[in-house]
């Protein structure tokens, strides 16, 4: 078996202007076929689904940067979607990691300390004005989860203001190439709307505990969209009491009332 990086290429059947999907999974190291698998792409809009990239080593980074340069020299435009945290780390550290390419969405790992719950949230960057302030609601306890990184560092790549895909026409082509992402965002958003249309500020999509299983995890999140988005600027207003807390409070009241009745009757 050659290579630890899975490279799945999906070219559109017709429509010359449609996007090509390159879906990556596994480990990006010196033993990759990224360049070979995509050597026939010229002047294409190439959507690179990075959801499944689990690790990158320094040789992988070098190959990636070379690959981006070669792709762009052949007139291709790159859009990265569902970037795993490993890709986000490189985007932040390596100058020119994306070349002239744009990033449409990233995964972000969140953690709830009180109940030790982890969740990966897919963030559509064009729709979330301040991802660093995002506090998704924990599916387990209803509390606010915190990013499992330093937010200003994790989202540092946003500061240059040119990494995010904002062009509506390109966005429509990208959404068509990754329909499940569009479907998921629509589902969370109450249905019907295209992700390119203005939407509510936050559309987090948590997966379950297994953060590593990113491609499947991201898809699974479509079915289990039980975690509700929380507005980053909610200053304590409109807080929802979690079911667990309610049960505990009711149980405590029952105990107190029983104790009082006991004391009354004893006296």
The footprint of Zn ion (CB under 5 A) covers 112, 115, 117, 138, 140-141, 143
Q: Toward Zn ion, which CB reaches closer, 145 or 178? A: 145
Q: How far is the CB of 145 from Zn ion (least distance, A)?
A: 7
Structure tokens at 185: 């965002």
Where does 139-208 have alpha helices with state H?
A: 151-154, 168-177, 179-188
Q: Toward Zn ion, which CB reaches closer, 129 or 243? A: 243
When computed from its CA atoms, the radius of gyration of the chain, rounded to whole angstroms, is 22
Structure tokens at 247: 């049960």
Q: Toward Zn ion, which CB reaches closer, 18 or 115? A: 115
Q: Toward Zn ion, which CB reaches closer, 141 or 231? A: 141
d(CA 136, CA 235): 14
Q: Toward Zn ion, which CB reaches closer, 62 or 113? A: 113
Q: How far is the CB of 171 from Zn ion (least distance, A)?
A: 33
d(CA 113, CA 117): 7
DSSP letter at 256 equals H
Length of the chain, in residues: 267
Q: How far is the CB of 110 from Zn ion (least distance, A)?
A: 10
Q: How far is the CB of 56 from Zn ion (least distance, A)?
A: 30
- Closest by CA position to 122, among listed 232, 204, 178: 204
Backbone angles phi, psi at 118, to 5 degrees: -110, 145
Q: Toward Zn ion, which CB reaches closer, 116 or 233? A: 116
Helix crossing, 179-188 with 214-223: angle to 10°?
Answer: 40
Q: How far is the CB of 227 from Zn ion (least distance, A)?
A: 10
Task: Specify which residues 242 forms β-bridges with.
Answer: none
Q: How far is the CB of 146 from Zn ion (least distance, A)?
A: 10
């Amino acid at each position: 078996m050659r290579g630890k990086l899975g490279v799945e290429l999906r070219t559109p059947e017709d429509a010359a202007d449609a996007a090509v999907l390159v879906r990556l999974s596994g480990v990006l190291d010196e033993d990759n076929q990224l360049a070979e698998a995509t050597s026939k792409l010229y002047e294409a809009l190439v959507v690179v689904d990075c959801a499944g990239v689990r690790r990158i080593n320094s040789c992988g980074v070098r190959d990636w940067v070379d690959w981006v340069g070669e792709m762009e020299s052949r007139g291709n435009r790159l859009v990265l979607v569902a970037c795993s945290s490993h890709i986000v780390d490189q985007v932040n550290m390596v100058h020119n990691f994306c070349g002239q390419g744009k990033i449409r969405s990233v995964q972000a790992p969140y953690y709830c300390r009180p109940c030790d719950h982890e969740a990966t949230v897919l963030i559509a960057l064009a729709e979330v004005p301040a991802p660093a302030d995002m506090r998704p609601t924990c599916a387990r306890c209803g509390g606010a989860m915190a990013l499992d990184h330093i937010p200003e560092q994790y989202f540092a790549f946003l500061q240059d203001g040119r990494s995010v895909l904002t062009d509506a026409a390109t966005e429509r082509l990208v959404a068509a190439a990754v329909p499940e992402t569009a479907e998921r965002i629509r589902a969370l958003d109450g249905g019907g709307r295209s992700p390119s249309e203005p939407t509510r500020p936050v559309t987090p999509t948590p997966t379950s505990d297994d953060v590593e299983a990113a491609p499947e995890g991201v898809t699974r999140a479509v079915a289990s969209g039980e975690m509700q988005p929380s507005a980053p600027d909610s200053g304590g207003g409109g807080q929802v009491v979690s079911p667990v807390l309610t049960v505990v409070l009711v149980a405590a009241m029952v105990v107190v009332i029983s104790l009082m009745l006991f004391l009354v009757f004893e006296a």
